Amino acid sequence: MHPIHLLPNGIKLVHKQIDAPISHFGILINAGTRDESEHYEGLAHFVEHTIFKGTQKRNAGQVIRYMENVGGELNASTSKEETYFHASFLSSDTERAIELLSDIFFNSTFPEKELIKEKDVILEEINYYNDSPAELIFDEFETLIYNGHPLGKNILGTKKSIKKFKRDDILQFIESNYRSENIVLSYVGQYSEAKILKWCLKYFGHQPLTSSNRKREPFTQYIPQELVKKKNTSQAHVVMGNIAYSLTHEKRYPLLLLTNLLGGPGLNTRLNQAIREKKGLAYTVEASYNPFSDSGLFTIYVGCDMNMIQKCLDITYKELAKLREQKLGTLQLQYAKKQFLGQMAIANESKLNEMLSLGRSALFFNEIETLEEAIASFEAIQSSTLLDVANEILIPDQFTMLTYCK
């Protein structure tokens, strides 16, 4: 296990030293869309956008130029439960990046004129998604499956909610959610642990300890639903799926492996071979598994001609039945593991991804699982476990389904 340092105020720090000219530093916060108050849908994402728009000593242009002038990059993202702010830069500019992210994080002023401009940007982002059915359908599916629960909120929010946001709403969200115990600093780069710890103490250690009394509402009332929406699209879009395991569930790795075998990024997945390669019924077919802190979501997506929907569904159900009824053979299991672990190792080649992965592990598990430990966990998965998982999750009678068609 990787060590996690605890700053005096409760903020966590994870560090990995590598011999590389580029370094990465990020602030990861255990706060996202599900933590918004009622009627403030999209506020977490709005904070992520506007936090770069000026601090007590830098205006919006100076914030961006401070890293870009030395070839660095600033970025951020928001999900249902997390918000990330991070930078990639030449290793010689490490202190510069840490100081800037600290200034942004603690001293942003959220000027009214910048809030107005950023509302327009996000409204255009919403328009873009509304014109992109292959992306929009996933957001609407989550809203359908988590009906009335905070996990079902759209990350972008609604046009109505965005227009009414005020500076005080931002400050209240930060006060309620950006608490020390919800924050992890993550670094992957050239400098030693001692050096990074020194800079993090200097720029992040001065804030007083704040504890969170936030209570997240658990999701308990899942009811499968089917909904067809009329859309003026050239092809049909179908998403189906089921509630699945949480981030901390012991079967999350077996479900990841099973999902990859069924419809991962490779062209040799069972669904892609059966639906696209052998039959030519769909251009896109994929499966995904997205775990949350106390829930999870397994989905299958198919994009096909309108008159091919039922054929695609029939083949999908047939492939799911095989996984529920037939235990993988020794070679099949070996190949499934080899492919997944290869993909995982390649993804880990991105040191930015590794920085975020280390930070996320500290954020949700309070410990760091190394790549070698993760590989060992996947290698230990048995065919009998995959069969159990298939019979718990891959059950069409328990699926919610959303279809876009003319």
Q: The tokens of 384 are what?
A: 């009998």
The rounded distance, in Å, linking the Cα atoms of 285 and 239 is 10
pLDDT exceeds cutoff 70 at 405: yes
Distance of alpha carbon 134 from its chain centroid, rounded? Answer: 18
Q: What pLDDT is stored for residue 3 in this prediction?
A: 84
Q: Which domains does the chain have, with CATH numbers?
A: 5-204 (3.30.830.10), 226-405 (3.30.830.10)
Q: Of 160, 80, 163, whose CA–CA distance to 118 is shortest?
A: 163
pLDDT exceeds cutoff 60 at 1: no
The rounded distance, in Å, linking the Cα atoms of 35 and 171 is 14
* Distances, alpha carbon 400 to alpha carbons 11, 136, 229, 318, in Å: 39, 16, 14, 17
Strands 282-291, 226-230: pairing kind: unpaired
pLDDT per position as a tens digit, 348-401: 889 999 999 999 999 999 889 888 888 999 999 999 999 999 999 999 999 999
**Please, which pLDDT band fits residue 211 given cuts at 50, 70 and 90?**
confident
Q: The tokens of 88 are what?
A: 């990639």
Cβ partners under 8 Å of residue 343, min gap 6: 260, 264, 265, 266
Q: Residue 260: enclosing H or E segment and its boundaries?
A: helix 252-263
Write down the H helix ranges in 146-227.
159-164, 167-177, 193-204
Q: What pLDDT is stored for residue 2 in this prediction?
A: 72
Q: The tokens of 39 are what?
A: 């009627």
* Mean pLDDT along residues 15-30: 96
Q: Residue 88: enclosing H or E segment and its boundaries?
A: strand 83-90
pLDDT exceeds cutoff 90 at 299: yes
CB atoms near residue 268 (< 10 Å):
11
- Show contacts of 327-334: CB within 8 Å, 24+ apart: 327/383, 327/384, 327/386, 327/387, 328/383, 328/386, 328/387, 329/383, 330/383, 333/381, 333/382, 333/383, 333/386
Within 160-275, strands assigned E span: 183-189, 226-230, 236-243
* Mean pLDDT along residues 84-112: 97
pLDDT per position as a tens digit, 212-240: 788 899 999 899 999 999 998 889 999 99
pTM score above 0.75 = yes
Query: What's the maximum distance between 2 C-alpha atoms anywhere in the chain?
Result: 63
Q: The tokens of 187 are what?
A: 């670094």
**Contact (Cβ atoms closer than 8 angstroms) between residue 178 and residue 29:** yes
Q: The tokens of 139 are what?
A: 């957001």
